[in-house]
Amino acid sequence: MDGRLGRDHDGRALIRLRYFEFTCTDRGRASGRLVTMRRIVTGLLLLVVAVGCHAPDAPPTGAGRFDVFVLGIAQDGGLPHVGCSKGCCRSARKAGRRLYPACLGIHDTETGKLVLVEATPRIEPQLSRLHELSGRARSRQPVDAVLLTHAHIGHYLGLAQFGREVAGTKGLPVHVTPRFAGFLRTHGPWKQLVALDQIRPTTFALREVFSPIPGLFVTAIPVPHRDEFSDTVAFKIRGPQGTVVFVPDIDAWDRAPGLLEELIDGVDVAWLDATFYDGSELPGRDLSEIPHPPMVMTMERLAESARKRPGRFRFIHLNHTNPVLHDAALRKALERRGFRVAQPGERVRI
């Protein structure tokens, strides 16, 4: 697959149709019977596709309209990481390797509208990449809406770039929880952006669908995390042909009963918190201060589903120390189990 949802089903249907046409022609059937056979086969294939589209995990019917791009896959500090003198960052600096904090960009292919999911400290190169991938260059109003999961530095500091010192946006909707909106309205420098109407905090209700732009439907699902300044959510994002979920930060999958199942229910692609591989990569650091579900635990819980649908679960928000960023053999091993590490620039059509 090239990231376009539903292509597998279409591809198989076309192959089957060609096979039956070749078989009928090869046996010298009369043209009238050939036409009849083609109609029968076409009808059967349409029935198969129709039934498949109503399967629990199938994407919604209809043409894909929105391209979802991955603009960053790293934890808040990116790679290389401030204060890190380990081999992972030394080699990255030497090679000029850069990985930006976890972020998505969404392009409405019908209207050209753009949505940014997270405003990271590396917002400029990520916006530039979104404009490049979408073919929609922008200037002072670089996107039409922003979605934020929570108020930790790798997820919202980029809002500062919308101020009058830089982009000077006008009335840019920033979709957040009510608590997060209160934080933005009462704490500097964010309250100045609000006062000058450069950003416009726009609240959503948890587990209720809202549309940051027409035709795109988003549900914010609360997740347990360190909530010093705001609560934390994951975003389930639905278009006419598919649904994705973005869960960059969570303390644990089992903190709330049924939470993981709720997050991945009906989802075609899930970008999941993969900050740490197994929790051993930060010796001497108390991980209870920065809890995240280890990748090995996530893969154990989702093993059967990943085996049935390879590529559905994609890891994101990787700490600079996470060995899968630096070990190709380890990445291949998890791919054999049906999992993937998200790649900057990858696209999913929904």
Residue type, 101: P
Residue 2 reports pLDDT greater than 50: no
pLDDT at position 287 is: 63
CA 250, 182, 101 angle in degrees (round to 5)? 40
- Tokens 């920033």, located at residue: 174
Band of pLDDT at residue 70, cut at 50, 70 and 90: very high
pLDDT at position 12 is: 32
pLDDT at position 190 is: 98
Instruction: Give the pair of three-digit tokens for residue 205.
Output: 């209700």
CATH of domain 66-349: 3.60.15.10
pLDDT at position 187 is: 97
**Backbone φ/ψ region at 22: left (φ over 0), alpha (ψ -120 to 50), beta:** alpha
Stretch 138-154: mean pLDDT = 94
Band of pLDDT at residue 40, cut at 50, 70 and 90: very low
Band of pLDDT at residue 108, cut at 50, 70 and 90: very high
Stretch 150-170: mean pLDDT = 97
Answer with the residue of higher pLDDT: 323 or 290.
Answer: 323
Instruction: Give the pair of three-digit tokens for residue 37.
Output: 């056979």
- In whole angstroms, give the CA distance from residue 265 to residue 259: 10
Task: Tell me the angle at which helices 7-26 and 31-53 cross, rounded to the nearest 10 degrees.
Answer: 160
Residue 91 reports pLDDT greater than 50: yes
- Mention every residue, 6+ apart, whose C-beta is less than 8 A from residue 294: 276, 277, 278, 279
Task: Point out the least confidently predicted range of 56-60, 90-94, 151-155, 178-182.
Answer: 56-60
pLDDT at position 280 is: 79
pLDDT at position 28 is: 39
Stretch 11-40: mean pLDDT = 34
Domain ranges of the chain: 7-53, 66-349
- In whole angstroms, give the CA distance from residue 235 to residue 247: 7
pLDDT at position 111 is: 97
Task: Point out the least confidently predicted range of 154-163, 208-217, 271-280.
Answer: 271-280
Q: Taking the model in full, what pTM does it have?
A: 0.81
What percent of the chain lies above the pLDDT cut of 70? 80
Stretch 324-337: mean pLDDT = 97
Peptide bond preceding 178 in cis form (omega within 30 of 0): no
Among residues 258, 198, 265, the alpha carbon closest in space to that of 56 is found at 265
Count of C-beta atoms within a 10 Å radius of residue 250:
25
pLDDT at position 58 is: 38
Stretch 33-43: mean pLDDT = 38
CA 274, 78, 323 angle in degrees (round to 5)? 45
Q: Rounded to whole angstroms, what are the CA distances from 126 to 8, 189, 288, 289, 350?
A: 30, 22, 31, 29, 21
Residue-wise pLDDT for 197-241, tens only, equals: 999 999 999 999 999 999 999 999 999 988 888 999 999 999 999
Residue 26 reports pLDDT greater than 70: no
Q: Tell me the pLDDT of the chain averaged across its residues.
A: 85
